Protein backbone atom coordinates (compact mmCIF):
# COMPACT_ATOMS: atom_id res chain seq x y z
CA UNK A 1 0.00 0.00 0.00
CA UNK A 2 1.35 3.41 -0.95
CA UNK A 3 1.26 5.75 2.05
CA UNK A 4 2.65 8.87 0.40
CA UNK A 5 4.38 10.24 -2.65
CA UNK A 6 7.30 12.67 -3.03
CA UNK A 7 8.11 14.35 -6.34
CA UNK A 8 11.23 16.47 -6.30
CA UNK A 9 13.79 18.00 -8.57
CA UNK A 10 14.89 20.91 -10.70
CA UNK A 11 11.74 22.17 -12.41
CA UNK A 12 13.37 25.25 -14.04
CA UNK A 13 10.23 27.30 -13.42
CA UNK A 14 8.57 29.25 -10.60
CA UNK A 15 5.69 31.59 -9.82
CA UNK A 16 7.99 34.49 -8.91
CA UNK A 17 9.23 35.53 -12.34
CA UNK A 18 7.01 36.90 -15.13
CA UNK A 19 8.90 34.91 -17.79
CA UNK A 20 7.26 31.74 -16.41
CA UNK A 21 3.69 33.12 -16.20
CA UNK A 22 2.29 30.70 -18.78
CA UNK A 23 4.25 27.64 -17.60
CA UNK A 24 1.84 25.21 -15.88
CA UNK A 25 4.00 22.45 -14.35
CA UNK A 26 3.75 23.65 -10.74
CA UNK A 27 0.02 24.39 -11.10
CA UNK A 28 -0.61 20.95 -12.62
CA UNK A 29 0.97 19.25 -9.61
CA UNK A 30 -1.11 21.39 -7.23
CA UNK A 31 -4.27 20.61 -9.24
CA UNK A 32 -3.45 16.89 -8.85
CA UNK A 33 -3.43 17.27 -5.06
CA UNK A 34 0.30 17.61 -4.42
CA UNK A 35 1.50 20.08 -1.79
CA UNK A 36 4.30 22.47 -2.79
CA UNK A 37 6.57 22.18 0.22
CA UNK A 38 7.68 25.82 -0.14
CA UNK A 39 4.08 27.12 -0.03
CA UNK A 40 3.83 30.21 2.16
CA UNK A 41 7.60 30.71 2.48
CA UNK A 42 9.18 34.02 1.48
CA UNK A 43 11.64 33.95 -1.43
CA UNK A 44 14.76 34.56 0.72
CA UNK A 45 13.94 31.35 2.65
CA UNK A 46 13.55 29.20 -0.47
CA UNK A 47 16.20 30.39 -2.95
CA UNK A 48 17.64 27.29 -4.64
CA UNK A 49 19.42 29.02 -7.52
CA UNK A 50 21.41 32.07 -6.43
CA UNK A 51 21.30 34.92 -8.92
CA UNK A 52 24.17 35.48 -11.31
CA UNK A 53 24.92 36.99 -14.72
CA UNK A 54 22.08 39.50 -14.34
CA UNK A 55 19.49 36.94 -13.22
CA UNK A 56 17.82 37.29 -9.79
CA UNK A 57 17.77 34.74 -6.98
CA UNK A 58 15.19 32.09 -7.83
CA UNK A 59 13.43 28.96 -6.64
CA UNK A 60 13.75 26.29 -9.35
CA UNK A 61 14.06 23.17 -7.18
CA UNK A 62 10.96 21.86 -5.44
CA UNK A 63 9.56 19.04 -3.36
CA UNK A 64 5.89 18.17 -3.84
CA UNK A 65 4.17 15.68 -1.53
CA UNK A 66 0.89 13.88 -1.18
CA UNK A 67 -0.21 11.86 1.85
CA UNK A 68 2.75 12.75 4.07
CA UNK A 69 3.23 14.91 7.15
CA UNK A 70 6.22 17.09 6.33
CA UNK A 71 8.48 19.20 8.50
CA UNK A 72 10.05 22.51 7.37
CA UNK A 73 12.16 22.14 4.20
CA UNK A 74 15.83 23.07 4.35
CA UNK A 75 17.87 24.67 1.56
CA UNK A 76 21.61 24.10 2.02
CA UNK A 77 23.92 26.74 0.57
CA UNK A 78 26.86 24.93 -1.04
CA UNK A 79 29.28 25.28 -3.94
CA UNK A 80 28.75 21.65 -5.02
CA UNK A 81 26.36 22.76 -7.81
CA UNK A 82 24.85 25.89 -9.31
CA UNK A 83 21.64 24.83 -7.52
CA UNK A 84 21.34 24.46 -3.75
CA UNK A 85 19.86 21.15 -2.54
CA UNK A 86 16.49 20.93 -0.81
CA UNK A 87 15.96 18.40 1.98
CA UNK A 88 12.95 17.59 4.10
CA UNK A 89 12.01 15.19 6.87
CA UNK A 90 8.67 13.39 6.76
CA UNK A 91 6.59 11.68 9.39
CA UNK A 92 5.17 8.39 8.17
CA UNK A 93 1.84 7.48 9.72
Q: What is the pLDDT of residues 44-71, one digit of tens each?
A: 999 999 998 788 999 999 999 999 988 8
- The enclosing H or E element of 66 equals strand 61-66
Contact between 59 and 35 under an 8 Å Cβ cutoff? The reply is no
Strand-pairing partners, residue 62, are 9
pTM: 0.88
Q: What is the pLDDT of residues 4-14, one digit of tens each?
A: 999 999 999 99
Average pLDDT over the chain, rounded to an integer: 92
Q: What is the pLDDT of residues 14-37, one digit of tens each?
A: 999 999 999 999 999 999 999 999
Domain boundaries, the chain: 5-91
Amino acid sequence: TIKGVVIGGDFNTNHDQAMFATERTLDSLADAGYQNNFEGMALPERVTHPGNHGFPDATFDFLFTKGLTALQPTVTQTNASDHWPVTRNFRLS
